Structure 1
């Protein structure tokens, strides 16, 4: 058994684990181009004055990634090159809207192709755009429904508690 001693200004172990989880959430939102999730988590961190802890952990994660991917003599060159290429405005998350193919999703759902739906959702970096396109498609179809159909559909959804059967496994938030 290893005994560790906590220094006066050191974070307790549980706080470190919490900060790691928050750093991971922030990184996932950034990686998947989810600006809303990124901004929300960043606002929480700023409100709780946890910037230093999370920045330290993000730096540690980046350093570990560089250490594992590159030889020591190459790692510093890679970091210097990244520092030179860093954008001046770092407040936005890079979003790839091209991967969000709502038309293919609607066609796959209509054909009952569960594997295709799951594949589309899994391959979309930010499902916010995919689901937004799906919602737009549904809104465009609503006027085409025969009278009374919409009421039947919404009643059925309410009976199910708002959950639709055969919903593809989507990534929550990120």
Structure 2
């Protein structure tokens, strides 16, 4: 059954277009899930510019149908979808965001103390991690001037090594030397 749905979709669009559309749909879903209104709006604006609304709507519908099919028996799945349709907001262009449930200061303290369980708990119980990450970045930015001379360069170099990013202006690193 799954293969047939995939084949029908692939028949409507070239395989490469299906993969691109899945990526666009995933970007929208991630932004919506994490309450990132800016990322959601940006992705939606790009879709409107490219006039691929129908393509992405088809893929989002397919993803939602697959999720419902895997989570519920057929007769229950239909009831769930009907309940969702009844509760759908009138204005669907906004992502729900929640700034109130964020405690970036507590997160920084837990990281500094090495309290892994508390960090995980804070992240798991924060309804909107976008604001938590924003608060963490603001805290880091406030701490940067307090670093001793040269420490920031060492930290960024270590991060680049860990993540395989080549620093700008280092030709021997690009050449693999």
TM-score with structure 1 length normalisation? Answer: 0.69
Runs of 5+ in structure 2 lacking a partner?
A: 1-6, 161-177
Which residue of structure 1 lines up, in the alignment, with residue 116 of structure 2?
115
Deviation at 1:36, TM superposition (A): 1.5
Deviation at 1:32, TM superposition (A): 1.4
Verify the 8 A CA contact 1:34 1:93 in the aligned structure 2. Answer: yes
Q: Pick one of 33, 41, 44 that aligns with 1:42.
A: 44
Q: Structure 1 residue 61 and structure 2 residue 63: aligned?
A: yes
Which residue of structure 2 lines up, in the alignment, with residue 146 of structure 1?
none
CA RMSD of aligned residues (A): 3.4
**Distance in 2 separating the partners of 1:10 and 1:154:** 59
Flag the structure with higher helix content. 2
Verify the 8 A CA contact 2:107 2:119 in the aligned structure 1. Answer: no
**Distance in 1 separating the partners of 2:54 and 2:89:** 21
**Distance in 2 separating the partners of 1:116 and 1:76:** 39
RCO higher in structure (CA 8 A, sep ≥6): 1
Give the secondary-structure state (helix, strand or coil) at the position aligned to 1:97.
coil
**Distance in 2 separating the partners of 1:102 and 1:33:** 17
Runs of 5+ in structure 1 lacking a partner?
A: 143-148, 166-174
Give the secondary-structure state (helix, strand or coil) at the position aligned to 1:33.
coil
Deviation at 1:23, TM superposition (A): 0.8
